[in-house]
Chains A and B, each alone.
Chain A
Amino acid sequence: EDQVTQSPEALRLQEGESSSLNCSYTVSGLRGLFWYRQDPGKGPEFLFTLYSAGEEKEKERLKATLTKKESFLHITAPKPEDSATYLCAVQAYSGAGSYQLTFGKGTKLSVIP
Chain B
Amino acid sequence: GAVVSQHPSWVICKSGTSVKIECRSLDFQATTMFWYRQFPKQSLMLMATSNEGSKATYEQGVEKDKFLINHASLTLSTLTVTSAHPEDSSFYICSARALDRQNSPLHFGNGTRLTVT
B46 and A43 form a contact (CB under 8 A): no
0/1 per residue, A28-55, Cβ < 8 Å to B?
Answer: 0001101010000111111001010000
A105-B42, A105-B43 given; A42·B110 CB < 8 A: yes
Within 8 A of B (CB), among A78-113: 87, 89, 91, 98-99, 101, 103-106
A41-B111, A43-B111, A45-B108 given; A91·B43 CB < 8 A: no
A43 and B43 form a contact (CB under 8 A): no
A45 and B63 CA atoms in complex are apart in Å by: 28
A101 and B103 form a contact (CB under 8 A): no
A108 and B15 CA atoms in complex are apart in Å by: 32
Interface residues on B, range: 20 to 34
0/1 per residue, B33-53, Cβ < 8 Å to A?
Answer: 010000001111110000000
Interface of A, secondary structure class, is strand
A104 and B43 form a contact (CB under 8 A): yes
A43-B6, A103-B44 given; A49·B113 CB < 8 A: no
The answer, yes or no, to whether B60 is at the interface (CB within 8 Å) is no
The answer, yes or no, to whether B13 is at the interface (CB within 8 Å) is no
A46 and B95 CA atoms in complex are apart in Å by: 11
B110 and A101 form a contact (CB under 8 A): no
A contacts, CB < 8 Å to B: 4, 31-32, 34, 36, 41-46, 49, 51, 87, 89, 91, 98-99, 101, 103-106
9 inter-chain pairs at a CB distance below 8 angstroms, sorted by A residue, are A31-B102, A32-B105, A41-B110, A43-B4, A46-B107, A49-B103, A89-B44, A99-B102, A101-B106
Known: A41-B113, A43-B111, A103-B45. 10 other contacts (CB 8 A): A41-B111, A43-B6, A43-B109, A46-B106, A87-B43, A91-B102, A98-B102, A101-B106, A103-B44, A105-B43
8 shortest interchain CB distances as A-B pairs = A43-B108, A103-B43, A103-B44, A105-B43, A43-B110, A99-B102, A43-B111, A46-B105
